[in-house]
Copies of this chain bind each other. A is one copy, B any other.
Amino acid sequence: MTEKSKIGSYKAVAEPFHVDFNGRLTMGVLGNHILNSAGFHATERGFGIASLNENNYTWVLSRLAIELEDMPYQYEEFTIETWVENVYRLFTDRNFAIVNKDGKKIGYARSVWAMIDLETRKPADLFSLHGGSIDEYICDEPCPIEKPSRIKVASKECADKIKAKYSDIDVNGHVNSIRYIEHILDLFPMELYKEKRIKRFEMAYVAESYFGDELSFFMDEVSPNEYNIEVKKNGEETVCRSKILFQ
Protein backbone atom coordinates (compact mmCIF):
# COMPACT_ATOMS: atom_id res chain seq x y z
CA MET A 1 0.00 0.00 0.00
CA THR A 2 1.45 3.41 -0.92
CA GLU A 3 1.39 6.19 1.68
CA LYS A 4 -0.90 8.19 -0.63
CA SER A 5 -3.50 5.41 -0.86
CA LYS A 6 -3.74 5.32 2.94
CA ILE A 7 -5.18 8.84 2.94
CA GLY A 8 -8.93 9.27 2.50
CA SER A 9 -10.14 12.45 0.81
CA TYR A 10 -13.72 13.76 1.14
CA LYS A 11 -15.22 16.83 -0.48
CA ALA A 12 -17.74 19.15 1.15
CA VAL A 13 -19.18 22.60 0.63
CA ALA A 14 -19.84 25.40 3.15
CA GLU A 15 -23.65 25.44 3.02
CA PRO A 16 -25.52 28.69 3.80
CA PHE A 17 -27.05 27.42 7.07
CA HIS A 18 -23.65 26.10 8.16
CA VAL A 19 -21.81 29.41 8.20
CA ASP A 20 -21.79 32.01 10.96
CA PHE A 21 -22.53 35.74 10.71
CA ASN A 22 -19.06 36.26 9.24
CA GLY A 23 -19.95 33.88 6.41
CA ARG A 24 -17.34 31.37 7.64
CA LEU A 25 -18.07 27.70 8.28
CA THR A 26 -18.76 27.16 12.00
CA MET A 27 -16.40 25.04 14.08
CA GLY A 28 -19.28 22.67 14.91
CA VAL A 29 -20.01 21.98 11.25
CA LEU A 30 -16.29 21.53 10.49
CA GLY A 31 -16.18 19.07 13.40
CA ASN A 32 -19.12 17.23 11.83
CA HIS A 33 -17.32 16.97 8.47
CA ILE A 34 -14.12 15.81 10.21
CA LEU A 35 -15.93 13.07 12.13
CA ASN A 36 -17.87 12.03 9.00
CA SER A 37 -14.57 11.70 7.12
CA ALA A 38 -13.22 9.49 9.89
CA GLY A 39 -16.32 7.33 9.52
CA PHE A 40 -16.07 7.10 5.72
CA HIS A 41 -12.36 6.26 5.86
CA ALA A 42 -12.81 3.54 8.50
CA THR A 43 -15.86 2.07 6.73
CA GLU A 44 -14.07 1.88 3.37
CA ARG A 45 -11.28 -0.08 5.07
CA GLY A 46 -13.57 -2.48 6.90
CA PHE A 47 -13.33 -1.06 10.41
CA GLY A 48 -16.25 1.35 10.41
CA ILE A 49 -18.87 1.49 13.15
CA ALA A 50 -21.31 -0.78 11.26
CA SER A 51 -18.85 -3.68 10.96
CA LEU A 52 -17.62 -3.10 14.54
CA ASN A 53 -21.20 -3.17 15.81
CA GLU A 54 -21.66 -6.62 14.28
CA ASN A 55 -18.99 -7.81 16.68
CA ASN A 56 -20.42 -5.80 19.57
CA TYR A 57 -17.81 -3.04 19.49
CA THR A 58 -17.96 0.66 18.67
CA TRP A 59 -15.63 3.62 18.27
CA VAL A 60 -15.61 6.31 20.95
CA LEU A 61 -14.08 9.72 20.30
CA SER A 62 -11.83 10.73 23.17
CA ARG A 63 -9.96 13.84 21.97
CA LEU A 64 -10.21 16.29 19.11
CA ALA A 65 -7.93 19.25 18.33
CA ILE A 66 -8.42 21.49 15.31
CA GLU A 67 -6.02 24.27 14.27
CA LEU A 68 -6.70 26.60 11.40
CA GLU A 69 -5.23 29.51 9.48
CA ASP A 70 -8.49 30.12 7.66
CA MET A 71 -12.04 28.78 7.44
CA PRO A 72 -14.02 28.03 4.22
CA TYR A 73 -16.38 30.83 3.21
CA GLN A 74 -20.06 30.36 2.33
CA TYR A 75 -20.54 28.22 -0.83
CA GLU A 76 -16.82 27.37 -1.06
CA GLU A 77 -15.81 23.77 -1.60
CA PHE A 78 -13.24 22.21 0.70
CA THR A 79 -11.76 18.78 1.26
CA ILE A 80 -11.03 16.81 4.41
CA GLU A 81 -8.11 14.42 4.17
CA THR A 82 -7.71 11.81 6.88
CA TRP A 83 -5.30 9.04 7.82
CA VAL A 84 -4.29 6.87 10.77
CA GLU A 85 -1.12 8.08 12.50
CA ASN A 86 -0.72 5.47 15.22
CA VAL A 87 -2.42 2.41 16.64
CA TYR A 88 -1.86 1.49 20.28
CA ARG A 89 -3.52 -1.32 22.17
CA LEU A 90 -6.34 0.87 23.52
CA PHE A 91 -6.19 4.02 21.40
CA THR A 92 -5.67 5.10 17.85
CA ASP A 93 -4.57 8.52 16.60
CA ARG A 94 -6.30 9.73 13.46
CA ASN A 95 -5.22 12.97 11.79
CA PHE A 96 -6.82 15.30 9.28
CA ALA A 97 -5.89 18.08 6.88
CA ILE A 98 -8.42 20.71 5.83
CA VAL A 99 -7.80 21.72 2.22
CA ASN A 100 -9.41 24.84 0.75
CA LYS A 101 -10.96 25.31 -2.71
CA ASP A 102 -7.55 26.17 -4.19
CA GLY A 103 -5.92 23.01 -2.86
CA LYS A 104 -4.11 24.82 -0.04
CA LYS A 105 -3.93 23.21 3.38
CA ILE A 106 -5.60 25.75 5.70
CA GLY A 107 -5.61 23.60 8.81
CA TYR A 108 -5.12 20.28 10.50
CA ALA A 109 -6.85 18.22 13.14
CA ARG A 110 -5.85 15.43 15.49
CA SER A 111 -8.20 12.94 17.09
CA VAL A 112 -7.84 10.10 19.57
CA TRP A 113 -10.29 7.17 19.54
CA ALA A 114 -10.89 4.11 21.67
CA MET A 115 -12.80 1.01 20.70
CA ILE A 116 -15.20 -0.16 23.39
CA ASP A 117 -17.22 -3.28 24.01
CA LEU A 118 -20.89 -2.31 23.60
CA GLU A 119 -21.99 -4.52 26.50
CA THR A 120 -19.33 -3.82 29.12
CA ARG A 121 -18.61 -0.23 27.84
CA LYS A 122 -14.94 -1.12 28.56
CA PRO A 123 -12.07 -0.37 26.15
CA ALA A 124 -11.20 -3.22 23.80
CA ASP A 125 -7.85 -4.30 22.33
CA LEU A 126 -7.35 -2.64 18.95
CA PHE A 127 -4.85 -5.27 17.83
CA SER A 128 -7.62 -7.87 18.05
CA LEU A 129 -9.51 -5.90 15.37
CA HIS A 130 -9.27 -7.58 11.96
CA GLY A 131 -6.43 -9.72 13.37
CA GLY A 132 -4.35 -6.60 13.97
CA SER A 133 -4.60 -5.42 10.37
CA ILE A 134 -5.55 -1.89 11.38
CA ASP A 135 -1.83 -1.05 11.67
CA GLU A 136 -1.43 -1.66 7.92
CA TYR A 137 -3.11 1.70 7.50
CA ILE A 138 -0.61 3.65 9.58
CA CYS A 139 0.62 6.52 7.46
CA ASP A 140 3.55 8.90 7.96
CA GLU A 141 1.80 11.98 6.50
CA PRO A 142 2.84 15.03 8.56
CA CYS A 143 0.35 16.78 10.86
CA PRO A 144 2.16 19.92 12.01
CA ILE A 145 -0.05 20.88 14.98
CA GLU A 146 0.36 20.03 18.64
CA LYS A 147 -1.34 17.04 20.21
CA PRO A 148 -4.46 17.63 22.33
CA SER A 149 -3.38 19.08 25.68
CA ARG A 150 -4.50 18.35 29.22
CA ILE A 151 -7.21 20.88 30.02
CA LYS A 152 -7.84 22.04 33.60
CA VAL A 153 -10.61 24.37 34.73
CA ALA A 154 -10.55 26.01 38.15
CA SER A 155 -13.64 28.25 38.02
CA LYS A 156 -16.52 27.32 40.32
CA GLU A 157 -18.75 30.01 38.83
CA CYS A 158 -21.26 28.71 36.32
CA ALA A 159 -21.10 30.68 33.03
CA ASP A 160 -24.27 29.14 31.60
CA LYS A 161 -26.69 26.32 32.21
CA ILE A 162 -28.87 24.46 29.71
CA LYS A 163 -31.00 21.33 29.60
CA ALA A 164 -30.20 18.68 27.02
CA LYS A 165 -33.11 18.66 24.59
CA TYR A 166 -34.39 16.53 21.68
CA SER A 167 -32.12 18.18 19.07
CA ASP A 168 -29.04 17.47 21.20
CA ILE A 169 -29.51 13.69 21.30
CA ASP A 170 -28.02 11.17 18.87
CA VAL A 171 -29.00 7.62 17.94
CA ASN A 172 -27.18 6.26 20.99
CA GLY A 173 -29.32 8.42 23.28
CA HIS A 174 -26.34 10.65 24.15
CA VAL A 175 -25.84 14.37 23.66
CA ASN A 176 -23.93 14.31 20.38
CA SER A 177 -20.26 15.34 20.15
CA ILE A 178 -21.01 18.25 17.81
CA ARG A 179 -23.70 19.81 20.00
CA TYR A 180 -21.18 20.25 22.84
CA ILE A 181 -19.01 22.26 20.45
CA GLU A 182 -21.98 24.49 19.51
CA HIS A 183 -23.04 25.03 23.13
CA ILE A 184 -19.46 25.92 24.08
CA LEU A 185 -19.15 28.42 21.21
CA ASP A 186 -22.44 29.98 22.36
CA LEU A 187 -20.80 31.03 25.65
CA PHE A 188 -18.95 33.86 23.91
CA PRO A 189 -20.31 37.27 22.95
CA MET A 190 -20.81 38.36 19.35
CA GLU A 191 -18.16 41.08 19.76
CA LEU A 192 -15.44 38.47 20.28
CA TYR A 193 -16.36 36.72 17.01
CA LYS A 194 -16.41 40.08 15.23
CA GLU A 195 -12.87 40.90 16.27
CA LYS A 196 -11.21 37.52 16.43
CA ARG A 197 -11.31 34.10 14.88
CA ILE A 198 -10.74 30.70 16.45
CA LYS A 199 -7.16 29.60 15.79
CA ARG A 200 -7.27 26.36 17.77
CA PHE A 201 -10.13 24.39 19.28
CA GLU A 202 -9.79 21.34 21.53
CA MET A 203 -12.31 18.92 22.96
CA ALA A 204 -11.74 16.16 25.51
CA TYR A 205 -14.79 13.90 25.78
CA VAL A 206 -14.95 12.39 29.27
CA ALA A 207 -18.47 11.02 29.91
CA GLU A 208 -21.85 10.83 28.19
CA SER A 209 -24.85 13.00 29.04
CA TYR A 210 -28.50 12.27 28.27
CA PHE A 211 -31.86 13.89 27.48
CA GLY A 212 -32.97 16.13 30.34
CA ASP A 213 -29.52 16.37 31.93
CA GLU A 214 -28.66 19.82 33.16
CA LEU A 215 -25.38 20.87 31.54
CA SER A 216 -23.44 23.60 33.32
CA PHE A 217 -20.49 25.42 31.79
CA PHE A 218 -17.44 26.59 33.77
CA MET A 219 -14.82 28.78 32.15
CA ASP A 220 -11.29 30.00 32.94
CA GLU A 221 -9.90 32.91 30.97
CA VAL A 222 -6.29 31.72 30.87
CA SER A 223 -5.24 34.80 28.88
CA PRO A 224 -7.20 37.34 26.77
CA ASN A 225 -7.12 34.89 23.85
CA GLU A 226 -7.26 31.55 25.65
CA TYR A 227 -10.23 29.96 27.39
CA ASN A 228 -10.57 26.62 29.13
CA ILE A 229 -14.12 25.31 29.52
CA GLU A 230 -15.54 22.41 31.51
CA VAL A 231 -19.03 21.00 31.01
CA LYS A 232 -20.59 19.19 33.96
CA LYS A 233 -23.86 17.33 34.11
CA ASN A 234 -26.32 17.74 36.95
CA GLY A 235 -23.86 19.87 38.90
CA GLU A 236 -21.30 17.13 39.42
CA GLU A 237 -19.80 14.84 36.87
CA THR A 238 -17.48 16.20 34.16
CA VAL A 239 -18.82 15.50 30.67
CA CYS A 240 -16.18 17.22 28.56
CA ARG A 241 -13.50 19.91 28.56
CA SER A 242 -12.52 22.32 25.85
CA LYS A 243 -9.77 24.82 25.07
CA ILE A 244 -10.25 27.70 22.66
CA LEU A 245 -7.46 29.89 21.33
CA PHE A 246 -8.60 33.06 19.58
CA GLN A 247 -6.48 35.20 17.28
Q: Which 8 A-B pairs have the closest CB atoms?
A: A165-B186, A23-B171, A167-B182, A21-B169, A17-B178, A190-B211, A17-B32, A166-B186
How many chain A residues touch B (CB < 8 A): the figure is 38
CA distance A85 to B192 in the complex (A): 44
Nearest B residue to A162 via CB reads B162
The answer to whether A176 touches B17 (Cβ under 8 A) is: yes
CA distance A49 to B20 in the complex (A): 17
Indicate whether A177 sits within 8 Å of B17 (C-beta atoms), given known contacts A74-B171, A166-B193: yes
CA distance A32 to B50 in the complex (A): 26
CA distance A185 to B28 in the complex (A): 20
Which residues of B have CB within 8 Å of A244? none
The answer to whether B170 touches A17 (Cβ under 8 A) is: yes
The answer to whether A171 touches B20 (Cβ under 8 A) is: yes
Task: Give A111-159 interface residues, CB cut-off 8 Å to B.
Answer: none
A22 within 8 A of B: yes
Which residues of B have CB within 8 Å of A185? 166-167
Task: Give A168-221 interface residues, CB cut-off 8 Å to B.
Answer: 169-173, 176-178, 182-183, 185-186, 188, 190, 193, 211-212
- Contact pick for A19, options B16, B50, B170, CB 8 Å: B170
Which residues of B have CB within 8 Å of A188? 166
A71 within 8 A of B: no
Report the minimum CB–CB distance from A1 to chain B (whole Å).
Answer: 26
Report the minimum CB–CB distance from A179 to chain B (whole Å).
Answer: 8
Report the minimum CB–CB distance from A36 to chain B (whole Å).
Answer: 6
CA distance A19 to B171 in the complex (A): 7
- Contact pick for A17, options B16, B35, B74, CB 8 Å: B35
Which residues of B have CB within 8 Å of A74? 171
